[in-house]
Amino acid sequence: MAQLMPISEWFQKKEKYVQITPKTEKRPMPDGIWSKCAECGEIIYQKELVKNLWVCPKCDFHYKLAACDRLNILLDEGKSDEFDASLSSADPLKFEAEKTYIESLNQSREKTGLNDAVITVKGKIDSRNVIMAIMDFRFIGGSMGSVVGEKVTRAVEMAIKNKLPLVIVSSSGGARMQEGMLSLMQMAKTSAAIARFKKTGLPYISVLTNPTTGGVTASFASLGDIIIAEPQALVGFAGPRVIEKTIRQKLPKDFQKAEFMLGYGQIDLVVHRKDLKATISKLINFFTGELR
Amino acid sequence: MKKFMMDFEKPVVELETKLEKLKRLPTKEKSGIAKEILLLEKQIDKIHESIYSNLSASEKLQIARHPNRPRTFDYVDFIFTDFIELHGDRVCGDDLALVGGPAFLEGERVMILGHQKGKDTKENVSRNFGMPHPEGYRKALRLMELAEKFNLPLICFIDTPGAYPGIEAEEHGQAAAIAQNLMKMSTLSIPIIILNIGEGGSGGALALGVGDRIFMLENSYYSVITPEGCASILWHDETRASEAAEALKLTADDLLRLEIIDGIIDEPLGGAHRDFELVGGTLKKVLEDNIKELKGVSIDKLLDDRYKRLRKIGAYAEK
């Protein structure tokens, strides 16, 4: 369905090269040589930002990462075998609002080149095989519907079957409402799979990145043997807007940030992106008994 | 009981009020209007049927949230004997929005858990309108483990708008508390029966919702997000909640079709509050039958079936 332009906008002067940035997503401008940090306003040389793993060199703000960029950072030579890549969402409820669910899916597919909000792979961390699931927030807010639930569950089962450590990097607004109760039940499905994984004696490292909320936090993401969060990542059950509306007061600025959650005993570690791979590697080696 | 009228009940309630007035007339005058009373009663029955047998999702939602709708404790009192309410999470609190304890079901020892809303504003405030904090979910976890230790079938009553979204709830780990329950319930080596008696609000409901049998009362709902929340995300307009309610496919009929629940328990026309004992009786029978059946299944098979049941939920295409 085409969006009609309101009449009031017909007569406004158009600027050339309009950059459309979603209101909530803080990302520096991707094109050009220079970027302005959306957090501190610092002008950063684009190449330096990429070299710095999408972390602002001045204020250390950790930008959201595409799943494939995350893969490059965490796995040896960025190499991996992806599985279940062809799984794609059906539209079981025939969900329709301003946009149909099918339209939302297609837009996200085009934007990200992914079939849904998670990729699941087998790869190596410091030469050791692991099963890894990485969520991508750009795909309908990293929401969990049937495909995310199924792929995560299969990844967990794959780790059980192959006796491999499990790493899940989450980034999600929660359960995907366009699939209704089928989405909610994915929380139970993934948690049941994790319960089975726990019996293997292998480590499950859960990494929470900005933001991880709702049904993903309230299921597999909170069930890691070790829970790591990136600095400043928003981590919680309810989103801040919902809480503010419920309690009718402004929330403190650091509320639900990784450091805040660390203080309340909800996570084990806050780890800078540049140290993330080394930390995961160390933990896996320790808990699998392969000390070095 | 206080009178409370839902929008779509208006035509009935008007006639009912008229009927009551007629019935209250002294017997002398009544003889002349006996016919009229009879006629009115027939008329009311007819309208009842036409209104209540074709309820929309948002109308069912109103019944599920009806202030006079029977709560967990109403059913506990009616169905079970010797219920002992147990308190506290052994960490820092006792959440009155989530209650539980052991009881007898016709001689069978069971463990009961349930969300508990209040009957009036005062009780609702103390019970936080049935919206648990992590303390509630951790108490539930404790009682689940107790049930497992003593081999008691677990019965969960679901009736919550959702887990409470507040500052303390986040500080105390709302998400982790829910996640722990989901994981635990998937491996509890006792039969688990879930009854949704009113509101099934998202993760806060699901945290008592993993089991071997799931039933819903006819006018209860179960949803990934409240229709109000959904409408506010989709259209930035909470008043369009009834549209969202339709789109979310949250009624018992929808969820039976999606193979998420095992059965629907009939309510009298107009909702469970119109004939509580009828619904209580049916629930009791359903519980007795299913516990008997599940107790005949070996624990290994029970757990395997429970996993498979979750495992198959989802709609996707694969090349």
DSSP B297: S
- Of B290, B286, B103, B288, whose CA–CA distance to B197 is shortest? B286
| Partner-chain contact A184 B247, CB within 8 Å | no
Phi, psi of B154 (to 5 degrees): -105, 130
How does pLDDT run across A141-159, given as a tens digit for each residue? 999 999 999 999 999 999 9
Residue of chain A with shortest Cα separation from B205: A184
Q: Three-state secondary structure along chain A? A: CCCCCCHHHCCCCCCCCCCCCCCCCCCCCCCCCEEECCCCCCEEEHHHHHHCCCECCCCCCECCCCHHHHHHHHCHHHCEEEECCCCEECCCCCCECCCEHHHHHHHHHHHHCCCCCEEEEEEEECCEEEEEEEECCCCHHHCECHHHHHHHHHHHHHHHHCCCCEEEEEEECCECHHHHHHHHHHHHHHHHHHHHHHCCCCCEEEEEEEEECHHHHCCHHHHCCEEEECCCCEECCCCHHHHHHHHCCCCCCCCCEHHHHHHCCCCCEECCHHHHHHHHHHHHHHHCCCCC
Q: How many CA atoms lie within 13 A of B81 on its CB side?
A: 4
Q: In this structure, what token pair is assigned to residue A36?
A: 């302005």
Of the listed ranges A8-12, A47-51, A219-223, B200-204, the least confidently predicted one is: A8-12
What DSSP state is assigned to residue B91?
Answer: S
Q: Which residues of B touch A218 (CB under 8 A)?
A: 163, 174-176, 178-179, 182, 203, 207
Residue A9's pLDDT is what?
Answer: 55
Q: Which residues contact B171 (CB under 8 A, 6 or more apart)?
A: A264
Take residue A131 and report the two structure tokens written for it: 């099963």
In a 10 Å sphere around its CB, with 0-12 CB exposed, 13-18 middle and 19+ buried, how is residue B1 labelled?
Answer: exposed
Domain ranges of chain A: 24-63, 65-287
Q: Which residues of chain B have pLDDT under 70?
A: 1-3, 28-31
Which of B138, B144, B182, B309 is the best residue to mutate to test the A interface, defined by the most A CB atoms within 10 Å of its own CB? Answer: B182
ipTM of the complex: 0.94
Q: Residues 145..174 of B with a Cβ closer than 8 Å to A: which?
A: 163-167, 169-174
**Closest CA of chain B from A160, distance in Å:** 15
Written out in words, the top-level CATH class of the domain with range A65-287 is: alpha beta
Asked whether residue A12 carries a pLDDT value surpassing 50, the answer given is yes
Q: Is A243 on the interface with B (CB under 8 A)?
A: yes
Is a pLDDT exceeding 50 seen at residue A19?
A: no
Q: Is residue A1 predicted with pLDDT exceeding 80?
A: no
- pLDDT tens profile A111-137: 999 999 999 999 999 999 999 999 999
Q: Measured between CB atoms, does A191 come within 8 Å of chain B?
A: yes
Task: Given CATH 3.90.226.10, say whether it is the number of domain B61-311.
Answer: yes
Smallest CA-to-CA distance from A88 within A29, A172, A148 is with: A148
Identify the DSSP state of B97.
T
For residue A284, give the nearest of A225, A229, A219, A239 by alpha carbon. A225
Q: pLDDT band for position A25 (50/70/90)?
A: very low
pLDDT tens figures, A184-203: 999 999 999 999 999 999 99
Strand ranges for chain B from DSSP E: 98-105, 108-115, 154-160, 192-201, 213-217, 221-223, 263-265, 316-317
Mean pLDDT for A217-239 is: 97
Enumerate residues 15 to 54 of chain B having a beta carbon within 8 A of any beta carbon in chain A.
Answer: none
In chain A the first and final C-alpha atoms are separated, in Å, by 58
